[in-house]
Each structure stands twice: as C-alpha cells, then as structure tokens.
Amino acid sequence: MTRFTYQHLLELVDGDDEFIVRLVEEGLIERRDEVMSLDVDAVLLARTLWRNLEVDWPGIEIIVRLTAELNAARRRVQELEAAVAKRGTPKT
C-alpha cells in the first residue's frame, strides 16, 4: 500500500473526483482525512477497466482481485525457484 495525499491521487486519476469516491466506496482506497492508502497498480487497472473498457464495478473487483492473486502466485514461484537454485542440482 502506498500513501497519497488527496491532491496527488486526484492528479493520478486525471482530476476525476467521482472516480475517487467510487474507489473508496468499493474498498480499493482507504481514506483517513486527507491521506489515502492504496495500491497504485490496482487503482490504475481499475481506471483503465472503467474508462477504456467500460467494465462494470463487479467485474473490476474480480479482475483486480485475480490480478493481485496472480502476482502473489508469481512471487511465490520465483521464491521457490530461487530456493531450488540455491540448493543446487542433486548429485546422482
């Protein structure tokens, strides 16, 4: 999670106040006063899905969640590959 001021977030989403309100309502952004906690990649993905592809909010929620899960799985695979490489090739 990255912290943004409201003004910085507004710049990130090209001044779309309504979109920020929707992101907060949908739980993609946590708001505490003027500081927002968010996953920048998820916000940008949601913005692209909403504006460019006209995906509805239930679809955006699923796609953002699956993307996060896929990224986490990729990281786990990389960690496992690194652990296996570190152990070296077993001798027969």
> Would you state the pLDDT for residue 70?
96
pTM: 0.79
Strand order in the sheet with 35-38: 2-5, 35-38, 29-32
Quick: pLDDT tens for 31-73. 887 789 999 999 999 999 999 999 999 999 999 999 999 999 9
Residue with tokens 């652990």: 83
Statement: residue 89 has pLDDT above 80: no
Q: Please tell me the total number of residues recorded for the chain in this structure.
A: 92
2-87 CATH fold: Multidrug-efflux Transporter Regulator; Chain: A; Domain 2 (1.10.1660)
Residue with tokens 């239930």: 58
Quick: pLDDT tens for 24-33. 999 999 988 7
Angle, vertex CA 80, rays to CA 75 and CA 82, nearest 5:
95
The residue extents of the domains of the chain are 2-87
